[in-house]
Amino acid sequence: MDNEVKKILKTKIIGRNIIFFDEIDSTQIQAKKFAENCVTNGTIVLTENQTGGLGTHGRKWYSEKNKNIAFTIILYPECELQKLKNLTKDIAKCVVEALNRICKIKTDIKEPNDIMLNGKKMGGILTQIITKGENIRYLLIGIGINVNSKSFPLDLEKIATSLKQQTKKEFCKEKIIAEFCNVFEEYCIRENII
């Protein structure tokens, strides 16, 4: 999976180093450990199966094995903290743009961090900024997108959906990840974040 993503990336920083796990508790938890040890800027922690994915407000993020996208980007921004105040909303716009480019599908944003399709949640963003005083130490950007799931647990089926559920088509996860990285890096360069 990681090699397939790298083949189609156009970035210079984001995704050039991918740490891939077949199965992991949470890409966000593992990315934090790597970030503390100063891995390469733009490193992605990527998995095919997340057993304890994190959502916002301490919620759990459900992801069906081998069907969906779960990854976390580690960044060491060179900007002021104030510059990141709208970051989660801007990341959501990057996700929407990438999905439109690759899947030719129009998704919506439920601010600040939910990606919606036909009124149901299809993706989410978990942004964590780790600081020391006013200085940014590192930034973790967790992305979860339901791509090829056919069904969801009973407690989620009324509120969650996937690209496949809505369109009856399979989509290439690697292309979506790579295109998001391309779009997001363009944004980061434009905004002088990296």
The CATH number of the domain holding residue 18 is 3.30.930.10
Phi-psi region of 57 (alpha: psi -120 to 50; beta: other; left: phi over 0): left
Q: Is the peptide bond before 112 cis (omega within 30 degrees of 0)?
A: yes
Structural domain including 105 reads: 2-78+86-190
Distance CA 160, CA 165 (A): 10
Q: What is the pLDDT along the chain (194 residues), one digit of tens a residue?
A: 878 898 999 999 999 999 999 999 999 999 999 999 989 999 999 999 988 766 655 556 666 788 999 999 999 998 999 999 999 999 999 999 999 999 999 999 999 899 999 999 999 999 999 999 889 999 999 999 999 998 887 877 788 999 999 999 999 999 999 999 999 999 999 999 98
Q: Is 154 exposed, middle or buried (0-12, 13-18, 19+ CB in 10 A)?
A: exposed
Domain count, the chain: 1
The model's pTM:
0.93
